[in-house]
Structure 1
Amino acid sequence: MSAARPLIEEPVFLGSGDERLFAFLHPAAQAARGTIVMCHAFAEEKLWSHRVYVTFAREAAQAGFNVLRFDMRGEGDSALDFEQSTIETRIEDTLRAIAAAKNRWSTHDVVLVGHRLGGSIAAVAQTRAASDVRAVAIWDPILDGEDYFGQLLRSNMTTQMATQGKVTRMRDALIKAILDGEVVVVDGYGLTADLYRGIAALRLAQREELFQGPALLIEVPKGEQNAPSEPLRVLASTRPRLQLALEAEPPFWRETKQFHKRAGGFTADTLEWLNGLTT
């Protein structure tokens, strides 16, 4: 086995102007065994997860994988304001990141590792990237985008209670307002009609083209759950190359009392699965 090299991290911009993506390249610290493109979570969840992503990229590079992590447009240091971005721009950005990774490390197939809504985007991007993507892994997958959007709106209702002493607009009223052209703010991020429609359309269990190749879905158990949930089991029953795992990972993608630097369970499961792909 080749000796490990010192870790190198290179910030780069892909493209320019309204197309510009900010990315970090993490070359493998030893003879490369594959290439990973990371797809981050959405809005505030991305913010709280940033340190975990950095740690995972470094650990994967140390384990022999090239890693490209990037900011989708509308978030981080990439182009566009948040309200200008859509699910489609995020899918396009993922495809551009895949192409950049292939160009930089030309001899290795790409594996997408996505978190939360970023995992949904990765799954769709894989179907469009054809042979450029070998497999996809998703941390805490979101199967139903409509339900996820409703979860986002709960934060707005909490803000209503804090500022007005009562909730004056419930979920359905907020969605109607968004579809009528209002930008509804959740945790400082403006949710638009285009974002709502794009997220609501991400119903992974209903899309037969997804997860036909190697895939790993790592679920976070709820309550006393000790096995993958029924929706995931049903999904896996028709996709023989889909693997399921369960990890009681703390919700580092939310504001918690503890600062989370790494996701030990997600990382271990993902690297073990990747090792299986490369042997």
Structure 2
Amino acid sequence: MNYRHAFHAGNHADVLKHVVLLALCDALTAKPAPCFVLDTHAGRGLYKLDGESAQKTGEARDGIARLVAEGPRDPALQRYLTAVRACRQQHGAQSYPGSPWLLAHALREQDRIAACELLPEEAAVLADTFARDSRVAVHARDGYAAIKAMLPPKHRATKFARGLVLVDPPYEAQLDEFDIAIKALREGVARWPQGMFALWYPIKQGRALQSFQRKAAAIEAKSALVLELLVRPDDSPLRMNGSGMLILNAPWQLDVAMRPALAALQAALGETGAASRVAWLKSPA
């Protein structure tokens, strides 16, 4: 699987990922202390749904476009749609925000964002997008290596006690990517145990994820929560049938807020056999 952001912008996986990301941002900004966010696989930060890459797949039609048409009432989904509208008011009606844009939109003046992107062309666009935003530092580097190099985070005299690491890899290594990600998360939690860590992952066949989730539960974090959305049955290894978010050190009551949100996403975006799941791999103490 080669999950390049531009080809899949606004699809059902992006919707899930970005709904959860904004909920995590809101938990961080609920307290006045500054926070730090590391986006390890940031992409270009902003996409055009009428661009060649997005048009080639057309996946946004069954993602963000369908959700906009449904107009769900769930607060977490309304929060997400409000952010998408803000992006479109600023950048055009066919724009779609990537995770760096959403982070910059949701966080505050005192907060800091480090966005890593290994592909030179994508990193250049990302740097241009945030050239005037002093809160955002763009790094043209490997995101996994950044977890070790940049944690625990510091900015001048500020030591950040709170924050988030978002890991959103392309899964070019197929199932081997899960082991790479688990190793990086284990290293990250050891270096910054008070931080939240969020890993996005694709779902083709759910049973193939059992080993990954056992390893995730064994990481020395305070808790491990999975949030999953299947838009069709997970019965084919040839297509992405859904996706999930693994959250280590999840904020209080995230599971409570996400359960109705995922049910609403299942109803809006799902085909026959769709499902959603909110489950603790490791319950908070």
- Same fold flag (TM > 0.5): no
Q: Report the TM-score, using the length of structure 2 for normalisation.
A: 0.31
Q: Quick one: higher RCO (CA 8 Å, sep 6+), 1 or 2? A: 2
Q: Report the TM-score, using the length of structure 1 for normalisation.
A: 0.32
Larger Rg: 1
